[in-house]
Chain A
Amino acid sequence: MDQLPSALIFYGIAALVLVSAGGVAFSKNILHSAFALLGTLAGVAGLYLFLGADFVGVAQIIIYVGGILVLILFAVLLTNRIGDVRVTNLAVPAFGAAVPVLFSVIGLLWLVFRTPWPQTQAAAAPTTARLGDAFLREYLLPFELASVILLLALVGAVVIARRAARDEYLDKDPHHERLV
């Protein structure tokens, strides 16, 4: 069957996603975690393409990999003295946290296999035009709200980070000489 190669590719991508996610979760070095996140995000983008969601896949690459991940790397580098081992300490004993998570995941998997899901696979077709149409019709309000939220987040981030920058400035200038 010609399904086999595509199935193999799927398993490959799924493995990439999960292994990288494992890296995010368990790596001792925060920088390694950040780079492992790259694998996960790219893998998920691949899965989107597999599902015929071309626009979402590309958006995932551009926004997550191009934007958020870079932001995270910046944050890591700005806030971390590399080599400081203490920051990678685990918050709670890993085992105590893992048990409920394990049970939850087992429950979810059980749920997945118990449910008779419908199996009407949609034909793969370019979705960008249809998505755009949906954004300007059914999802107009959420779409506009999203733009407002992005703006607010932008302003909020600038305000918060700027205050931090000003504090920094004051630290260097304890007698407030340059403020006047």
Chain B
Amino acid sequence: MSLAHIGLHHYLVVSALLLGLGVLTVATRRNAVALLMGVELILNAANLNFVAFAHFVEGKVGGQAFAVFIILLAAAEAAVALAIVLAVFRGFRTIDTNATATLKE
């Protein structure tokens, strides 16, 4: 891995770090919307992997097709999740995930 020649490694490193930050966001945030942002980070990390592999390994557009599907799913997921967040907010008057944890113990 040379610094000047950008190869597959570089993208994978960025993607791994992005994944780590995403997981961390999901783990630590108590705000449901922030949680969703963490999920978006994770999805972007995966997407980046798909496109990078398509470019460096597959040589065709299969990976990009999956990336598009993932973006579509992310859109669907965001719409539903935010609707749920709104519904939760109406019910609990907060979206703190600690406060809404009524299933606890």
Contact = CB atoms under 8 A, between A and B. Distances in A.
Contact of A131 (B18, B25, B68, B78): B68
Interface string B44-61: 100110011011110111
A112 B55 contact: no
Interface in B64-105: 64-65, 67-69, 71-80, 82-87, 89-91, 94-98
A164 B36 CA distance: 19
A53 B86 contact: no
Interface in A63-115: 63-64, 67-68, 71-72, 74-76, 78-80, 86-92, 94, 97-98, 101-102, 104-105, 108-109, 112-113
A121 B10 CA distance: 14
A154 B76 CA distance: 7
A78 to B, nearest CB: 7
A92 B27 contact: yes
B52 to A, nearest CB: 6
Chain A's interface size range is 35 or more
A7 B3 contact: yes
B14 A168 contact: no
Contact of B76 (A86, A131, A150): A150
For the complex, would chain B's binding face be called helix, strand, loop or mixed by DSSP majority?
Answer: helix
B44 to A, nearest CB: 5
Contacts of A157: 79-80, 82-83
Given A53-B55, A154-B79, A41 B44 contact: yes
B59 to A, nearest CB: 5
B17 A105 contact: yes
Contacts of A1: 4
Contacts of A149: 72-73, 76
B27 A101 contact: yes
A72 B14 contact: no
Contacts of A74: 82
Interface of A: 1, 3-4, 6-7, 10, 14, 17-18, 21-22, 24-25, 30, 33-34, 37, 40-41, 44, 47-48, 50-53, 55-56, 59-60, 63-64, 67-68, 71-72, 74-76, 78-80, 86-92, 94, 97-98, 101-102, 104-105, 108-109, 112-113, 117-122, 127, 130-131, 134-135, 138-139, 142, 146, 149-150, 152-154, 156-158, 160-161, 163-164, 167-168
